[in-house]
Structure 1
Amino acid sequence: MSYRLRKQSISHEVRRVARKALEGGLKEMLTLDERGSDTAVHEARKHLKRVRALIRLIRPAMGDAFYKRENAALRETAQRMASIRDAHVRVQTIQKLIARSRSHRAAFDYIHEAMNARLQEVLDESGTNHWNRHVAADIEHAICRVDDWPVQELEASSLRDGLKSAFKKARRALATAQLDLTDDHLHTLRKRIKDVRYHLQLLGGDHLPQIEALTQKFRDLGDTLGDDHDLAELLTARDETPLPHSVDWANLERAIAALRTRSQRAALRLATSLLAPKPRAFADLILDHWEKWRSSP
């Protein structure tokens, strides 16, 4: 239950969860050579996302000054790993396309080779600036700040307000994406969906079945939107990665367009269903389950 609020005081649990997640990210940086950069970066960034989701949950009670300070610091730390993350994701995405493609294999192989070459360049560049040491130092500083988080007055109502706010923002992001289906709007929707998913995980108690089922649906939706984002990001490499034959990128664009059309339709349908409840009703439902569990023997 490392990323779940247990039955102790809310202030104690918020600090414990934050500290545990940050320590997980720090461990990834300190064991980078053993784990490999792709796994270490992915896991470290995931730990940081969990902490950022946690502070969004308590933002209404804590105020903007606290949130903006901590969120900006954690975002900057994550950004140190962005180029490595992006390069790895592009390689993994083209590998998935190759595995499921029945045509244009030669074109995709050319692009795969180019993405691998770019990944190696990024790894070579990062090896000279000791980025993981800077990330580790940032996380250590963040761990030290947790004890000073002013969370003493947090109550269940604080979490209720935070979840309602997150759900409302997800609904707003969905409405925006439905009106104007751009990569940026879909990416914003994905981030807001992940916030709700992380909040549900925090409030899942001892794997409460009602909340677990919802958490899985939000996770599935976030994964679908994440795959769509990865496809969009792969295409951004076109300008910086010229190939001998321009038709190779054209073939990739056509293949990606077909995949994205289907996945986006499915994602928007699921998002519309999951975000149908009113924010207050959704927050009340989840917090009622959590408080009932919390007060049980």
Structure 2
Amino acid sequence: MAYSFERRGNAAKQVRKIARDQVESGLALARAGGDFDKTVHDLRRRCKKVRGLLRIVRPRFSEFDRENAHFRNAAAALSPARDAAVMVETLREAMSQSWASPIADADKARLAEALEKNAASVAAGLNRAQVLADFAGAMEEVLPRIEDWSLKGDDFDLIEPGLSATYDRMRKRMKTARKSGRPEDFHDWRKDSKYHWFHISLLRESAPDVLGGRRSNLDTLGELLGDHHNLHVLLETIDRLVPNAAPPILDGLRAEQEALGDRALVLGQQLNVETAEQLTTRLRHFWQLLPEKD
């Protein structure tokens, strides 16, 4: 089953089916032993999809806290394998921008060497087979529980409260980020924006031409906020590994981060123009366009 609702009825059954498909595909990937970095990326994404699915039924699901923590912890165990490598990629991308051209090659190389050495050290300390085996074990543990998930309500009533709450929190966190300018607040906004992206993905078959555009714009917002966060983490990592890094590099990274935040706010205001009540009312109408249950 695709990551989307396909029928108006049996929404609870569809939630369980979508979750089971994500877990089973993740389990197969973890057991396959393919390219490690790609596998880790795909496994983390599947955990995020399940957590997005859980958010849309959160007010109707008494076991939300347990299951959300389970998938959060499974993904977190994979993070060290990816995070250090992302910093290398983030610096490489930043140094390819026009503002970095006047910076001395030696200063760029010193930073790159420190980040690459750190990434190599993290990678060397990983037991890759064990990391994937632990993830597979976590998926094997949760898989039998999915059929017993007790979800209160059905049809659009099952998902409306969670859909509304997530979108409302996304709007509030954007306002907080705009007011404070703090990277941590932008990151919080990013997380709820991503959950809302998952929710629109789940509903996209109800009105693909309309929701496809919203989904695409939310994807762009997620990229802007993701790059903003990566630059924040990169600056912290540089401060830890190379505390005497060249000031022009640090200034350029901060300016790029600020520009990304400004672009995200412009797009976010457009995506958040409706109230939660207005958006969920519109999505309820779209829901009625889905076929009847089997």
The answer, yes or no, to whether TM exceeds 0.5 is yes
Partner residue in 2 for 1:261: 258
111-120 or 270-279, larger mean C-alpha shift: 111-120
Partner residue in 2 for 1:48: 47
Asked if the contact 1:107/1:251 (under 8 Å) is kept, the reply is no
CA distance in 1, matches of 2:231, 2:86: 9
CA-CA distance at 1:296 after TM superposition: 9.8
CA distance in 2, matches of 1:130, 1:260: 36
- 1:24 maps to amino acid: S
Asked if the contact 1:197/1:219 (under 8 Å) is kept, the reply is yes
Unaligned runs of 5+ in 2: none
- 1:45 maps to amino acid: R
Closer, same or farther: CA 207–118 of 1 in aligned 2, 3 Å: farther
CA distance in 1, matches of 2:232, 2:252: 12
CA-CA distance at 1:264 after TM superposition: 0.7
Tell me the alpha carbon deviations over residues 221-265 of structure 1, each in whole angstroms, 9 at most, x when there is no partner.
01110011011111121243137xx243x3321111111121111
Count of paired positions: 290
Higher RCO (C-alpha 8 Å, min separation 6):
2
CA-CA distance at 1:108 after TM superposition: 2.1
User: Following superposition of structure 1 onto structure 2, how do residues 1-297 of structure 1 map, counting pairs within 5 Å?
Assistant: 2-7=2-7, 9-32=10-33, 34-37=34-37, 39-63=38-62, 66-100=63-97, 101-104=100-103, 105-127=105-127, 130-151=130-151, 153-205=153-205, 208-242=208-242, 246-248=244-246, 250-295=247-292
3-state SS of 1:236 partner: helix
Closer, same or farther: CA 290–73 of 1 in aligned 2, 3 Å: same
3-state SS of 2:290 partner: helix
CA-CA distance at 1:154 after TM superposition: 2.8
Closer, same or farther: CA 281–48 of 1 in aligned 2, 3 Å: same
Closer, same or farther: CA 128–12 of 1 in aligned 2, 3 Å: closer
Tell me the alpha carbon deviations over residues 27-47 of structure 1, each in whole angstroms, 9 at most, x when there is no partner.
332234x2232x222211111
Tell me the alpha carbon deviations over residues 168-192 of structure 1, each in whole angstroms, 9 at most, x when there is no partner.
1101111211221111100000000
Report the identity percentage: 23
Tell me the alpha carbon deviations over residues 132-161 of structure 1, each in whole angstroms, 9 at most, x when there is no partner.
211111122122221111137433112122
3-state SS of 2:197 partner: helix
223-232 or 233-242, larger mean C-alpha shift: 233-242
Unaligned runs of 5+ in 1: none
3-state SS of 1:3 partner: coil
173-182 or 205-214, larger mean C-alpha shift: 205-214
CA distance in 1, matches of 2:102, 2:218: 33
CA distance in 1, matches of 2:216, 2:126: 35
Closer, same or farther: CA 274–255 of 1 in aligned 2, 3 Å: same
Asked if the contact 1:53/1:195 (under 8 Å) is kept, the reply is yes
CA distance in 2, matches of 1:121, 1:102: 29
Asked if the contact 2:225/2:264 (under 8 Å) is kept, the reply is yes
- 1:201 maps to amino acid: S
Closer, same or farther: CA 281–265 of 1 in aligned 2, 3 Å: same
Asked if the contact 1:28/1:41 (under 8 Å) is kept, the reply is no
**What is the TM-score normalised by the length of structure 2?**
0.92
CA distance in 1, matches of 2:226, 2:39: 19
Instruction: Name segments (4+ residues, structure 1) moved above 4 Å.
Output: none
